[in-house]
Structure 1
Amino acid sequence: MAETGASTDPVPSPDAALSPVARAEHFVWLTARVLEQRRFAYHFLRGASGTAGSTDVGSNQAADAVEAALTAYATGDGGYGYALEPDLRGPVSQPLHIGHALRVLDSIRRCGGQRVERVCRYLTSVSTPDGALPAIHPSQRGYPSAPFVPILDDPPSELLATGPVVGLLHRNEVWHAWLFRATDFCWAAVESLEKSHPYEVQAAVAFLDGAPDRPRAQAAADRLGRLVREQRLAALDPAALAAYPVAPGYAPGEHHFPHDFAKAPESLARAWFTDEEMERSLDFLERDQRADGGWPVRWRQWAPGTALEARPIVTIEALRTLRAYGRSID
């Protein structure tokens, strides 16, 4: 485009009278990466054209567009890199990128086939001696990454990285040799938790929601829910946040709410909260949409680009959660 002269005028915000989705659409087109633009179109605009009346063909085309955008983050070893998870920069594959990629594929019903076979081969190559995943593989060293994800030469297995990957693979009925020991690790980790923090609990829920042994998953979830309430890991009253401590190492104000644990009504974590607690949580989530149409990032922001890339991701997930619970967003 030809330069038309510098302007110091603020970027206009969407009309406050518009629906949450319409305001978020303005925000996404203004700020998001191609992947999140394609995801937003798939979930909320019924295809890349943004027109209503989706057909199976249109839905498939929109899913193809999401998958094509995700492929740009693929690496030669079967993993994903290139800051797919914005807090990890650089071209190298990382387990946390894999979790992000599988969530995207699951959301468009493409979590299977050769793409997942390649992912499982990568997971095998970076697993720890007990068959699970480290949060950060040492290959990240030398590239920028968030200070709250330390890089170790011999990192331990982490439920944080392993649970969501295993849960999503089981949810999509993927069977691979890597899953056997990784599943055993997740069961042992979840069932032995005594003191935890919200992100680890979210990882445990992601595993339990996909685990094939449903009675065992239900029992583990019941125990975990009691732990969450006893340790006040969920802010049950958004109007009284001072009553809920922020976990050590988290950013000031980095609270987690019932909707953060039970992202959809069918999650096992939904039973942890009363109807009143969940309604308050969803009310808070609705009100949390900012004037620019996006939702805020609550974790520690350590670089301008990472916050900019993360907000559209958070915005899409907020809208998906509200819609899953029947809230009006259109």
Structure 2
Amino acid sequence: MGIMTDSILDNARAFILREGRLLERRLFATLFQAAPAGGVMDSLRAYQNPDGGFGHGLEPDKRCPDSLPIDVEIAFQTLLAAGGPLAEPMVSRACDWLAMVAAPDGAVPLAFPVMEAYPRAVHWSDWTYTPGLNPTAGLAGLLHQMGADHPWLTRATDWCWSALEDGFPGDAHAMSETLVFLEHVPDRDRAERLAQRVGEWLPKLSHYRADPADPSYGVTPLHLAPTPGSRWRRLFADDVIEGHLDRLAGDQQPDGGWAITWEPPGAASTLEYRGIETLRALRVLTAYQRI
């Protein structure tokens, strides 16, 4: 373990400038070069449709221009990362769209069959059409983090509580979404009661990658606790976090970017997701003072 040299950041910057899309270039400038968040907001607006939702491959594994809940979630995550104005009209418009496409109980799926007309990764299939904690809990948690107030958020929050009464999900992606919800939902007493059970549940999850030496795809402790101040950092021993930080730092590729461990639908999608993952790695390593 050790503090990383500036060349790590410099090489990553070169990769993002060379291969990343405009959104990641603007976000890098905001996060690491003190650029105003307005540039990120302008880039995000290009992905918002007239119906208020987001599409156009904001999540690059499907090239569908139509609005999808997963793309709305990426938009919210990007807005929060950039520190942009949380009262942005784009947020309320996206909430209106979520209310329009949600099930009567408020839950939303990751995607809709409209994406089948466009290139997409193999894992983007009909399982993503079922409303669930992934992404409903994540979307609701992000909106609570923003301090948003919208009728859909009330419905979605009630649905999430009801779903969690039946137990935690069995997949690490859905658990990651659940943890965003539990970290930011206003009912702290109820959230903390559930939070006490998270640690014992993690080893049971599919796609959870606890071992930093495991090269396969999965959700790691650094996805769940991306900063030392995360609500979930205390779930993991120091040596586990340090091992994953070592692995993350060591995974930087010779071209300056970070690789991905799944198969996107094309070369452009691959580079776009590598830009996203490179920024994620830099943010985590910076938060843990490895850069």
* Alignment TM-score > 0.5, same fold: yes
Q: What is the aligned partner in structure 1 of residue 150 from structure 2?
A: 176
- Mapped contact 2:45–2:90 kept (Cα < 8 A): no
Query: 1:112, 1:306 → 2: CA distance?
Result: 30
Q: 2:58 aligns with which of 84, 98, 113?
A: 84
Q: Which has the higher contact order (CA 8 A, sep 6+)?
A: 2
AA aligned to 1:25 is R
> What TM-score do you get using the length of structure 2 for normalisation?
0.91
Quick check: 1:282 aligned with 2:242? no
Mapped to 1, the partners of 2:74 and 2:150 lie a distance apart of 19
Structure 2: gaps (5+ residues): none
Deviates most, 284-293 or 31-40: 284-293
Identity of aligned residues (%): 37
Unaligned runs of 5+ in 1: 1-15, 48-61, 242-251
Q: Does 1:33 align with 2:21?
A: yes
Offset at residue 233 of structure 1 (A): 5.4
CA distance in 1 between partners of 2:195 and 2:278 (Å): 27
- 1:204 and 1:112 map into 2 onto residues whose CA distance is 24
What residue number does 1:4 align with? none
Larger Rg: 1
Q: Would you tell me which structure has more helix in proportion to its own residues? A: 2
Taking structure 1 as the reference length, the TM-score comes to 0.81
Give 2:58's aligned amino acid. L
Q: Pick from 220, 223, 230: which aligns with 1:267?
A: 230
The letter of the residue matching 2:269 is T
1:44 matched to 2:32? The reply is: yes
Separation in 2, partners of 1:134, 1:234:
21
Amino acid at match of 1:223: R
Measure, in 2, the Cα distance between the counterparts of 1:207 and 1:237. 25
1:191-212: CA deviations, max 9, x gaps? 4335512211211112112211
Separation of aligned partners in 2, 1:325 and 1:17: 14
Inter-partner Cα distance in structure 1 for 2:143 and 2:275: 25
Alignment correspondent of 2:254: 291
Deviates more, 1:38-47 or 1:133-142: 133-142
- Residues 1:324 and 1:305: Cα distance change in structure 2 (over 3 Å): same
What is the letter of the counterpart of residue 174 of structure 1? A
User: Residues of 1 paired with 2:46 and 2:169: CA distance?
Assistant: 38
What is the identity, as a one-letter code, of the residue corresponding to 1:19? Answer: S
How far is 1:299 from its partner?
3.0
Tell me, what secondary structure is at the counterpart of 2:197?
helix
The one-letter code of the counterpart of 1:124 is: A
Q: Which residue of 2 aligns with 1:143?
A: 118
What root-mean-square deviation, in Å, do the aligned CA atoms of Structure 1 and Structure 2 show? 2.1
Aligned residues: 287
In 2, Cα distance between the equivalents of 1:194 and 1:216?
14
Q: How far off its partner does 1:253 sit?
A: 1.4
* Aligned partner letter, 1:90: C
What aligned pairs does 1:68-83 form with structure 2 within 5 A after superposition? 68-83=42-57
Q: Distance in 1 between matches of 2:226 and 2:5?
A: 26
